[in-house]
């Protein structure tokens, strides 16, 4: 099935920059869209709700100005992420603002709701829902999502545990619509690999934390540059749901990453309450602010640079990988059938 034009026609690379709690705001989103990939942010990063109105107005205005000045390299569309969980008491107001600004793409996570999809469809917007298993994927499509984001093992934030090969294979067995793959993608070569597996788009998160435009403290950016996959710990202690975090940030909070206790599921908290966490350690430390989320793909991040520079590197790597693999594809296609 062809990709909807919003995800096809204005992209320099088949990439959605994923929403990052606290980290992604208008500066990063605008830079990502100008560089030709879908930029996104969680609506909850704009506080209070009135700030969301201001952010959306600014993004719309700056991208329109860019498009007027750069007709040959227009900006990519942007996306807003909605946490569709019962603890999110802003959902209705935030959806109203997405409708007001006709946000081209809405990414829903932690719950699929028909009325949210209907509201976005009312103006022709597209909804992609993020899932960690095939059964969640089926539920999301039943409830009216247009596309899916397969969140595989190794992703930053609330990652799944399934291999990307397994997850994409199962979803692609029945779903022909827009499909993005998430989890440790941080290079041009990995973007092409996601497409080879059957995804339409790569969904890239943690690598953007080290960019100039990201709303993250210098120590967090440096830790992304200096760390690798073995520094990433999978734990449910901090929000009640399993996610990936940087071990050195856990140590700074006074906890031993090797002996983290399990969380109490009744205290589920996605960082929106601002409360401390868990037992032991520094009780004033907060998840996301002090305990830093991160996926396993950060070995590819070797410098702090602007989002535009990083995306240009992704594009170079993607083109190199395409060129390298093209002769192999030609050889495979020339082989006679053997039966």
Ligand X SMILES: Cc1cc2nc3c(=O)[nH]c(=O)nc-3n(C[C@H](O)[C@H](O)[C@H](O)COP(=O)(O)O)c2cc1C
Contact call for residue 23 and ligand X (CB under 6 A): yes
The minimum distance between CB 271 and ligand X, in angstroms, equals 8
Closest to ligand X by CB, 214 vs 321, is: 214
Q: Of 232-261, which residues contact ligand X (CB under 6 A)?
A: none
CB of 207 to ligand X, least distance (A): 6
Position 147 contacts ligand X (CB under 6 A):
no
User: For ligand X, which stretch binds (CB under 6 A), given 90-98, 136-144, 202-210, 317-325?
Assistant: 202-210
Cα(109)–Cα(57) distance, rounded to whole angstroms? 24
184 binds ligand X (CB under 6 A): yes
| Three-state DSSP class for residue 18 | coil
Find all residues with CB under 8 Å of 24, minimum gap 6, and list them: 17, 39, 40, 41, 42, 45, 208, 214, 215
Shortest Å, Cβ 226 to ligand X = 16
Among 6, 15, 20, 35, binds ligand X (CB under 6 A): 20
Q: Which member of 32, 75, 117, 206 binds ligand X (CB under 6 A)?
A: 206
Q: How far is the CB of 331 from ligand X (least distance, A)?
A: 32
* Inter-residue contact 66 to 34 (CB < 8 Å): yes
Residue range at the interface with ligand X (CB under 6 A); choices 164-172, 180-188, 257-265, 329-337 = 180-188
Residue the block writes with tokens 């204005």:
10
3-state SS string for 96-156: HHHHHCCCCEEEEECCCCHHHHHHHHCCCCEEEEEECCHHHHHHHHHCCCCEEEEECECCC
Q: Can you tell me which of 14, 19, 25, 281 binds ligand X, judged by CB under 6 A?
A: 19
Does 81 interact with ligand X (rule: CB under 6 A)? Answer: yes
Determine if 25 is a binding residue for ligand X (CB under 6 A). no
Q: Tell me 79's DSSP state.
A: E
Distance separating alpha carbons of residues 240 and 148, to the nearest angstrom? 24
Q: Backbone phi, then psi, for 247, in 5-degree steps?
A: -55, -40
Least Å from the CB of residue 232 to ligand X: 9
Rank residues 241 and 322 by Cβ distance to ligand X and give the closer one.
241
**Prior bond to 86 cis, omega within 30?**
no
Write out the residues near ligand X by the rule CB under 6 A.
18-21, 23, 42, 81, 109, 130, 151, 155-157, 182-185, 203-206, 293-295, 297
């Amino acid at each position: 099935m062809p990709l909807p034009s919003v995800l096809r026609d204005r992209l320099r690379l088949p990439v959605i920059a994923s929403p990052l709690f606290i980290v992604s705001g208008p500066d990063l989103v605008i830079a990502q869209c100008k560089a030709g990939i879908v930029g996104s942010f969680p609506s909850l990063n704009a506080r209070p709700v009135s700030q969301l109105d201001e952010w959306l107005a600014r993004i719309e205005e700056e991208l329109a100005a860019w498009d007027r000045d750069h007709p040959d390299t227009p900006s990519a569309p942007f996306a807003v992420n909605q946490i569709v969980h019962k603890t999110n008491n802003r959902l209705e107001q935030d959806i109203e603002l997405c409708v007001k600004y006709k946000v081209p793409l809405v990414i829903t996570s932690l719950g699929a709701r028909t009325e949210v999809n209907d509201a976005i469809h009312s103006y022709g917007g597209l909804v992609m829902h993020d899932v960690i298993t095939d059964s969640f994927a089926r539920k999301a499509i039943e409830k009216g999502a247009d596309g899916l984001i397969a969140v595989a093992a190794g992703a930053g934030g609330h990652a799944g545990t399934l291999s990307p090969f397994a997850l994409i294979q199962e979803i692609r067995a029945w779903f022909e619509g827009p499909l993005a793959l998430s989890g440790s993608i941080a290079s041009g070569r990995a973007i092409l690999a996601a497409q080879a597996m059957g995804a339409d788009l790569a969904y890239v998160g943690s690598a953007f934390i080290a960019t100039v435009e990201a709303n993250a403290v210098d120590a967090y950016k440096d830790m992304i540059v200096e760390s690798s996959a073995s520094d990433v710990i999978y734990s449910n202690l901090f929000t009640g749901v399993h996610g990936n975090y940087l071990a050195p940030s856990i140590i700074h909070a006074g906890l031993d990453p090797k002996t983290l206790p399990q969380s109490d599921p009744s205290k589920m908290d996605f960082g929106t309450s601002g409360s401390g966490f868990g037992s032991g350690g520094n009780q004033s430390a907060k998840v996301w602010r002090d305990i830093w989320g991160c996926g396993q793909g950060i070995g590819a991040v070797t410098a702090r640079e602007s989002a535009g520079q990083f995306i240009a590197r992704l594009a170079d790597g993607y083109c190199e990988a395409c060129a390298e693999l093209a002769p192999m594809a030609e050889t495979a296609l020339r082989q006679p059938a053997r039966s």
